[in-house]
Structure 1
Amino acid sequence: MTVNEKKVKLSIEGDQEALLFLLKQEKEKLYRTAYSYVRNQADALDIFQQTVLLAIESIHQLREPKYFTTWLMKICINVSIGVLQKQKKVISLDNQKFQSISTEIATSDEKLDLLDAIYRLDEKYKTVLLLKYYEDFTFEQIAELLGEPIGTVKSNGKRALAKIKKTLKGVYLDERTKPI
């Protein structure tokens, strides 16, 4: 049993200091995940706080200490999706952000287009891509986290990539193949 698993076990038994230690270890990952969904600092902080509160309230329900990070990430994802659904939020750039972005080099524009394409995907596709490529989860971990078969997760990942390629094909592929 690892040190963290021992701390998780202590947390389940009611040790608040152990739980706070574990939450501090996961705070950056939780914030990044929340931010990747809402793309807004204030909302991401609210999601982070809600996630921590839910974790504190329900740590006693965690059965397997080795799944603490997965359990915590699932709470964060569910809270993020809930916030998006509740607000039915439309993400737009204000003038100041647009001006600062327009001064960036082409690769930054491509990154923004890619992120925009990801955020336009259905939740099931977006979640797989964000966890796989931004949080470095394996397909097995994602399947476990989402409670879905690994084949479904892999299929959703492939479909998501195909949709993004289709979306960006007209923007970048056509421009690069034009004769000068």
Structure 2
Amino acid sequence: MKKKDVNELFVTCMNDHKEDFYRLAFSYVKNQEDALDIVQESIKKALLSIDTIQKSGSIKSWFYKIVVRTSIDFLRKQKKITLVDDQMIDFLSQGKVDAYHDIDLYNTLDELPTQYKTVIILRFFEDLKLEEIAEIMDENINTVKSRLYRGLKLLRIIIAEGELV
């Protein structure tokens, strides 16, 4: 493919799916600014390696892979530090009524190993097909299926244990 064509396809993909990429990054870091930083860093990485794209149809999956890896790298770097942003402090100090939508699910997802969490997020939150997830994660489709199955099973076990307490 010509470099000009690849660049145009990349820009089109970014415009068409920017919310999806942001949502994916946010699902890892749970912070608006960090999610935007991850997407920005992912775009930078993509532009530096855009020459590696072989097929035009794989741009979206290719960029999803970059966002996932950048998110995981970010979490590894930030693992030692847990900061609370100003919005959270303001919210907590106002004493508003708590609105927890599926909080158990999100907390349990955070407890899962990264390999399971990634597959579940891409499958159910990003609504990607198993083949696309396999391409994003550079894994065999059977590996993705087994990680999805094991991740869901682990999710059920953790949630069930929490209900017993």
Q: TM-score, normalised by structure 1?
A: 0.78
SS at match of 1:13: helix
Which residue is equivalent to 2:138?
A: 147
Shift in Å, 1:70: 0.3
Consecutive aligned runs of 4 or more in structure 1 exceeding 2 Å deviation: 12-22, 89-100, 102-105
| Aligned with 1:77 (options 60, 63, 68) | 68
| Aligned AA (1:103) | D
Compare 84-93 and 119-128 and name the one that shifted more: 84-93
Give aligned pairs, total. 160
Q: Are 1:20 and 2:11 matched, yes or no? A: yes
Deviation at 1:164, TM superposition (A): 1.2
Change (3 A) 1:16 1:142: closer
Aligned twin of 1:66: 57
Q: Which of 130, 144, 156 is the aligned partner of 1:165?
A: 156
Secondary structure of the structure 2 residue equivalent to 1:103: coil
Matching residue of 1:104: 99
Match status 1:40 vs 2:31: yes
**Residue aligned with 1:35, SS:** helix
Quick one: structure 1 residues 121 and 65, their matched pair in 2 at CA, closer, same or farther if it must change by over 3 Å? same
Deviation at 1:22, TM superposition (A): 2.8
Q: When the two structures are superposed, what TM-score results if normalisation uses the length of structure 2?
A: 0.84
Letter in 2 for 1:128: V
- State the AA in 2 paired with 1:38: V
Give the stretch that moved more between structures: 85-94 or 34-43: 85-94
Which stretches in structure 2 are left out of the alignment for 5+ residues?
A: none
Counterpart pick for 1:137 among 109, 128, 132? 128
Larger RCO, structures 1/2 (Cα 8 Å, 6+ apart): 2
Residues 162 and 91 of structure 1: CA distance in aligned 2, closer, same or farther (over 3 Å): farther
1:91 is displaced (CA, Å) by: 5.7
The Cα shift of 1:87 comes to 1.4
Give the CA deviation at 1:40: 0.8
* Residue deviations 1:4-54 (CA, integer Å, cap 9, x gap): xxxxx55x3367555433321121111011101111111101001011112
Kindly state the Cα deviation for residue 134 of structure 1 after the two structures are TM-superposed: 0.3
- Structure 1 residues 65, 14: closer, same or farther in 2, change over 3 A? closer
Amino acid at match of 2:20: K
* Change in 2 beyond 3 A, CA 1:157/1:104: same
Secondary structure of 2:133's counterpart equals: helix
Report the AA paired with residue 61 of structure 2: T
